[in-house]
Amino acid sequence: MLKITTTYPRATKVLNEWRKYVVSQARRNLSVNGTSKDGKLYTSLKGIIDKRMNRSLKGRFTGGSVLPSLRFEYPAYGEFLDQGVTGTNPDKDNHVSNGRYSFKKSKKSIKVKGNSALARWAEKRGLNKWAVAKSVHQRGIKRTLFFTKPFKARYKTYVDMYNSAAADDIANNVARQMKKQIKSNKTK
């Protein structure tokens, strides 16, 4: 019986290349948009490749791993900066009028009261969180797409490469397992 015991080295390599590309381009976009390199959003933006090993019901490793996956993490306010927030008076001073988030009922709304990401951001900078909330409420936050652009730019290419690499890893594993089985049968 053949068992798939691969750790998917080629698929992991493709994910790692895509991770590096997206993170570096997103950080470059933040720098171009005026976010400093020592800012929390810049430094906390990261991609994490999850590789879980196969386990039995008793918790023992059974060899191989589940297909690796990639996830990106950054602080919650990064989503508002990336997608934008539509204010209640967006035409004033040429501020955003097409953000994904809004203070209107028809779109996703954001919280600016209490312990929200926006309130924490204002408090860390010594700003009055209510004044910041009112300003964002009226003017909105301009959409930058600092993360979305590099993510979508090569998404299809990397997904195709990932699928091909995973198929190669499985095929190589099957070939190795068959070679081992043939070799063990010859020695018997």
Parallel, antiparallel, or unpaired for β 61-65 and 53-55? antiparallel
Pair of tokens at residue 123 = 């408090």
Q: Is 55 helix (H, G, I), strand (E, B) or coil?
A: strand
Q: Which residues pair with 85 in a beta bridge?
A: 101, 141
CB atoms within 10 A of CB 107: 13
The dihedrals phi and psi of 74, each to the nearest 5 degrees, come to -160, 165
> Can you give the pLDDT of all 188 residues of the chain as single tens digits?
556 567 789 999 999 999 999 999 999 999 888 776 667 888 999 999 988 776 667 767 666 677 888 999 998 888 888 888 777 776 655 555 566 676 665 555 555 555 676 777 778 888 888 788 777 777 777 888 899 999 999 999 999 999 999 999 888 888 888 888 888 887 76
